[in-house]
Amino acid sequence: MAEAAIELIGINKSFGAVRANRDIALEVPRGTIHGIIGENGAGKSTLMSILYGFYQADSGEIRVNGKPTAIKTPNDAIAVGIGMVHQHFMLVENFTVLENVILGAEGEPLLKKSIAKARSELQRLEREYGLEVDPDAIIEELPVGLQQRVEILKALYRGAEILILDEPTGVLTPAEADHLFRILQQLKDQGKTVVLITHKLREIMAITDNVSVMRQGTMVATRKTSETTVEELAELMVGRRVLLRVEKGDANPGDVKLLVKNLTVKDSRGVTMVDDVSFDVRAGEIVGIAGVAGNGQSELLEAISGIRKAVSGTVLLDNKAIDVTGNADPAELRDRGLAHVPEDRHHVGLVLSFEENENSILGYHDKPQYLKGPFLNLDAIQKDAQDKIAKYDIRPANPRLKTANFSGGNQQKIVLAREIEQDPGVLIVGQPTRGVDVGAIEFIHKRLIAMRDQGKAVLLVSVELDEIRSLSDRILVMFAGRIVGERGPEASEGEIGLLMAGVERKEAAE
């Protein structure tokens, strides 16, 4: 085995009564891609935050390239060649790529000289690692995949030999994820060491050399990736056998619950994102919308849920119109039995500075069960939050904890619990398992199937094609804002993939 780039010995970290890391031992060989997997809240991100200097371990030792190293700040980590790409990017959105890369590492009092030097170095890094991106582009105008490249370039520009990536594919399309893996392979080929935090087991099997498994704050196993299986890793993560496929019976569709006719939606720039779209969703079925991110799915969900105004078209909920071109009110739609799990939990689904119990009723706080006269019934809200925490296995089980302190997957479960437990007639869900571990994915899928079997109508948007194919009773494919095809769940991945790329089956055969 190669000499260790990183050794963590006896690492312990607690936040109050919560023990996030318990006597962790980890060794990462130099020049390898090492996966760290575990359920949401298993302590993966905390451990890497200790390595990067965001947190200080309560006890234990860090060794970098065989030398005991004190890492008290991110600057200490950068000084010993450690870089980190966070799950939620640390970029200034109205700065250029170049300005973001040199921010905090200008090196010269005269910015003009620093920028010229950085531009030259960026060009070298782009050529060497296949990280092409326009250095003068504004961050907020770049797609997510390119923003992630900027984060990697930032780390390499600062001389990183060890690169930590926290859930790097959580916001990427399949094509962007494949490109990221090619970049990581090039980094490895150049002698860099990569630590990949994820819970997507297929990614672990595809890209890593070794994988370590965390569960409830402890390191329970390390395996050579070539000598393990998806099934073994899933069981190690969760502590029980996990069903890796969706089991469901045949659908029994009933009346139309949601009808969309000739809907057209434009974005803030006036670009048509949803172009004359029509479809329906019936009681007792899941209709999935497949497509590469950015083809109008987000705008479609926002228009139906009353967040974004449509240009034209009609949407009927239980045969009654939603004023999508005027002043559709999300609160009124909730009262009418339409629940919405948004794609972006941070900006739309949650108020991160609120406690878990507050987010658990957000949007439903005026319901009688949460009130005592004109005031909130705090005891009832606490009890409701505790019930949801238990039912959805939200960790830590603390309804008074700030929502920002939960892992991404547990934040997702807070949103899902809030919406599903209101027993809506229609549920529209964007990316239900984004950033969620394998055990929670199994749970969420079962909940969605149970809703269908209870006669609810479910509209599902996901960039995970496996998820769309396994959950949906009908699959609609969006490309360039239009519905370009409808298929059954028996359709092959290749057939749906061609439609997602705008290629009809008859064209592909020519």
Percent of the chain with pLDDT over 90: 60
Residue 3 DSSP class: P
DSSP E strand stretches across 362-456: 371-372, 375-376, 426-430
DSSP β-bridge partners for residue 210: 34, 224
Mean of the per-residue pLDDT values of the chain: 90
How many CB atoms are located within 10 Å of the residue 370 CB?
A: 16
- Strand ranges of the sheet holding 338-341, from the earlier edge strand across to the other edge: 338-341, 426-430, 457-461, 285-290, 474-479, 482-487
The pLDDT value recorded for residue 228 is 95
Q: Where in the chain is the domain with CATH 3.40.50.300?
A: 4-238, 243-337+425-510
Rounded to an integer, what distance in angstroms lies between the CA atom of residue 87 and that of residue 200?
14
CATH fold of 4-238: Rossmann fold (3.40.50)
CATH classification number, 243-337+425-510, choose in 3.90.180.10, 3.40.50.970, 3.40.50.300, 3.40.50.1820 = 3.40.50.300
Q: Is the model's pLDDT at 265 over the cut of 90?
A: yes
- How many Å from the N-terminal Cα to the C-terminal Cα in the chain? 50
Helix (H, G, I), strand (E, B) or coil at 287: strand
DSSP for 326-365?
A: TT--HHHHHHTTEEEE-S-IIIII--TTSBHHHHTTTT-T
Q: How far apart are CA 165 and CA 243, in angstroms?
A: 27
Phi, psi of 150 (to 5 degrees): -60, -40
Beta bridge partners of 35: 196, 211
Mean pLDDT, to the nearest integer, of 115-119?
A: 83
| Residue indicated by tokens 């607690």 | 14
User: What's the pLDDT band for 208 if we cut at 50, 70, 90?
Assistant: very high
Residue 275 tokens read as 């172009």
From CA 447, how far away is CA 286, in angstroms rounded?
12
- 242 pLDDT band, cuts 50/70/90, is low
Per-residue pLDDT tens digits for 17-68: 888 999 999 999 999 999 999 877 788 989 999 999 999 999 999 999 999 9
Task: Give CA–CA dist 244/123, Å, rounded.
Answer: 43
CA-based max dimension of the chain: 69
Q: pLDDT-based confidence at 438, cuts 50/70/90?
A: confident
By the 8 A CB rule, do 475 and 279 touch? no
- Write out the H or E segment, with its range, that includes residue 80: none
Q: Residue 263 carries which side chain, given as an amino acid letter?
A: L
| 274-323 pLDDT tens trace | 999 999 999 999 999 998 777 899 999 999 999 999 999 999 999 999 99
Mind listing the pLDDT tens digit for each residue in 129-186? 878 888 899 998 887 778 888 889 889 988 899 999 988 876 676 677 788 888 899 9
User: What is this structure's pTM?
Assistant: 0.70
Mean pLDDT of 439-468: 91
The bridge status of strand 193-197 relative to strand 33-38 is: parallel
Higher-pLDDT residue of 106, 191: 191
The residue written with tokens 């502590």 in the block is: 239
The residue among 400 and 504 whose pLDDT is bigger is 400
Question: What values do phi and psi take at 134, rounded to 5?
Answer: -70, 115
Q: Can you give the pLDDT at residue 203?
A: 85
- DSSP for residue 370: G
Residue 440 has pLDDT above 90, yes or no: no
